[in-house]
Amino acid sequence: MSSPQTARAIAASVNAGTSARTAVDAALARAAADTTNAIIRVHGARAQAAAAAVDARIAAGERLPLAGVPITIKDNLCLTGVEATACSKILTGFVAPYTATAVARLEAAGAVVVATTNMDEFAFGSSNETSAYGPVRNPKDPTRIPGGSSGGSAAAVAAGIVPVSLGSDTGGSIRQPASLCGVVGLKPTYGRVSRYGLIAFGSSLDQIGPLATDVADTALVLEAMAGHDANDSTSAARSAAGLAAAGQGGSLSGLRIGYVAAHAQGLAPAVARQLETAKRRLAEAGATLVPVELKHERYAIAVYYVLATGEASSNLSRFDGVRFGHRTANPESLHTLYAQSRAEGFGREAKRRIMLGTYVLSTGYYDAYYRKAQQVRRLILQDYERAFTQCDALLGPVSPTTAFRLGEKLSDPLQMYLSDIFTIATNLAGVPAISVPFGADEQGLPIGMQLQAAQWADAGLLRIAAGLEALGRA
């Protein structure tokens, strides 16, 4: 499947007079022909009506930054009048009564939603194998996973269906599939993008972000959807101006790029080689490499799976078979209604996380687990704050390996959880991070490098990412 134009090229063409239907119809055709199971719903009539509305706005003299750009959205993002299930049976039949703020802002900028993408159920997973719609296949090798939980969004971009897709990142769920599929994936600073209309996993960790073919498109989309939202009290009143320009890159000379020596341990040989190549090329481009220490990072996975499961258990308590979604047939009592609806509606991984989360929040265990995890989370953030007094960005791997085979880790949840070992601390600290394609292994499977920056330093992160992207193509 041939790759579509960049979002920038499509917007320029539509703003110059080309009909938005041209790009939208082509994307709809590609979505309908998807063979990776990345696409679970195609919104043909809605997308064509939206394209016509974009054409009318252009004819009236407007100039739109994302004019006619076809996009896909993850199944945990609400879109008015469209089913949103978070790829769980428990939400079968739920039709969103409103549109997520991030999506609405992209539509206001001229983007057109053409389809909804597959994901791990409620974003619980690292391989996109827990979905009620079945697993997604990596476009680079259909026997392998695309990463998760935003695997469908990453695959949609990697397969050339759309130039941009939206995902959500709770512990690496944008960056890890971006790395394994060979696209760019950005987790903005927590609070940079409104979470209103995102079906929640972990409310203190979730952040919506873009996946795209290059850093410049990623930055363009971020600028269009960022900013304060009165519907989300955790969204910050920070200006988004300059983010798109930052994605065009700049000189790397004089920048301080930090790295954690321990991150080189336990990597697949090809990933380790590409990490060293990235360091060398950054140094050759004039950057100074600075060793830093994140001494509490080794606790990140334990902290994350206490906090994230606790928040997930609380958030998923609303799915009870009464208000919306799946309801068991002919329950004998109210208790049976609740128990059977949830037993039938939730998948194995969702049940596992609900049970873990309920345990760590329960009387007698809250202080021992949840409160202690919050205290260590603060130490992790302080480590990052110290590190960013020594460097402008941190360089490291995204995933310890390239894409593994479908089914390879499903029977071992702990091994699956370790897939996110390099991405989880980012969410605990609320800092921005991006995955940039940087070479491949001997089998041609993509490898991504991660850059992290201080809170609200998204613009600087994008500039450095654009520079790293150029070095990766050299």
- The yes-or-no answer on residue 235 being catalytic is no
Token digits for 231?
A: 């519907």
Sheet of strand 39-42: strand arrangement? 39-42, 112-117, 70-74, 164-169, 207-212, 184-187, 433-440, 446-452, 393-397, 256-259, 288-291
Question: How far, in Å, CA of 259 to CA of 453, rounded?
Answer: 12
Annotated active-site residue in 131, 150, 168, 173: 173
Residue 205 CA, chain-centre distance (Å), reads: 12
- The yes-or-no answer on residue 149 being catalytic is yes
Question: How far, in Å, CA of 127 to CA of 246, rounded?
Answer: 31
Helix (H), strand (E) at residue 257: strand 256-259
- The yes-or-no answer on residue 153 being catalytic is no
Question: How far, in Å, CA of 89 to CA of 83, rounded?
Answer: 12
Annotated active-site residue in 74, 140, 187, 409: 74
Question: How far, in Å, CA of 107 to CA of 394, rounded?
Answer: 33
CB contact at 8 A, 196 and 101: yes
Name residues whose C-beta falls within 8 Å of residue 213's C-beta, 6 or more positions apart in sequence. 3, 6, 157, 163, 164, 183, 184
Helix (H), strand (E) at residue 26: helix 20-32
CB contact at 8 A, 206 and 232: no
Annotated active-site residue in 126, 127, 131, 149: 149
Question: How far, in Å, CA of 1 to CA of 38, rounded?
Answer: 14
- B/e letters for 432-468, b = 16+ CB within 10 Å, e = fewer, are bbbbbbbbebeeebbbbbbbbbbbbbbbbbbbbbbbb
Residue 434: closest CA among 411, 404, 468, 407: 468
Active site residues: 74, 149, 173
